[in-house]
Amino acid sequence: MPKAESFIKRLPRLARIMITLVGVGHVFALSEKVKQVIRAKRPEVVCLELDSNRYQALRTRDRSGRVPIQYALLALFQKKMAEKFESEAGDEMLAAASAADEVGAKLALIDMDAQMMFARLWKRMSLKEKSNMVFGALIGLVSSKEAVEREVANYEAHDAEYISKLGEGFPTVKEVLIDDRNKYMATQLAKISESHANILAVVGDGHVPGILEALKEHEIEAVRLKDLRETEAVAEPSSSYTHSYWYR
């Protein structure tokens, strides 16, 4: 069996798991890994961290629409970083949609409307936070692949501390782009779980801890970004692959 497929053996097939969260990084080449998880889990519904406008723009690769400056900077940063990792930003979402169709799953878009979200963000941010955000985005455009890898490694080793530190420098960003969206997406997943027993959601890995906390009354399995990125180098199954969170 090719190494790229061996990690599927580590995915537990626990009948009581209702929701699987797959944490991704939008700039990494994870399309095949995401497809493999969906094929293994064969969910009834595949949920994506997108709204309808972003999903259609992603499908057509149409970037001509008018978007808030901060969203445009984020999209440009993701595009530049994805090129360094020989990928294209959002490919993992399109791969998930394709795999959903392959296994006969419904597709659900569970994120907030980006236009409204960024409009609210910009309105609530202080001038200092706005300046720091734009400056940080511009610095990010010239960051090296190695610098991004270091940041990701730091996040993976201390995700809670990393997000907390983000909140110290960018409190409004954390509240609107992370905390509020975590609650929103968790609410959407809870609603879907009322009529479907096997759900899989593909979201940015930074949203996984918050969604897990918001859905603490549900039974959830989380496959993290670190797991997906490390599996090619591991040929044999390992019990350490999957991080499962069980709440009663």
> pLDDT value at position 190?
95
* Residues contacting 74, CB < 8 A, separation 6+: 137
Strongest mean pLDDT among 45-49, 74-78, 85-89, 135-139: 45-49
Mean pLDDT of 50-79: 71
Please say if the pLDDT value at position 178 is more than 80. yes
Residue 46 to residue 214: CA distance in whole angstroms: 19
Per-residue pLDDT tens for 189-242? Answer: 999 999 999 999 999 999 999 999 999 888 899 999 998 988 653 233 333 333
On whether the CB atoms of residues 74 and 144 are closer than 8 A, the answer is no
Q: Looking at per-residue confidence, does 70 or 233 come out higher?
A: 70
Largest CA distance in the chain: 55
Q: Using CA of residue 109, residue 244, residue 24, residue 59, what is the dihedral sign?
A: negative
Please say if the pLDDT value at position 8 is more than 80. no
CB atoms within 10 A of CB 187: 13
SS3 at position 223: strand
Mean pLDDT of 169-187: 94
109: which strand partners?
48
Torsion of CA 174, 214, 245, 201, to 10 degrees: -80
* Domain residue extents for the chain: 3-246
DSSP code of 241?
S
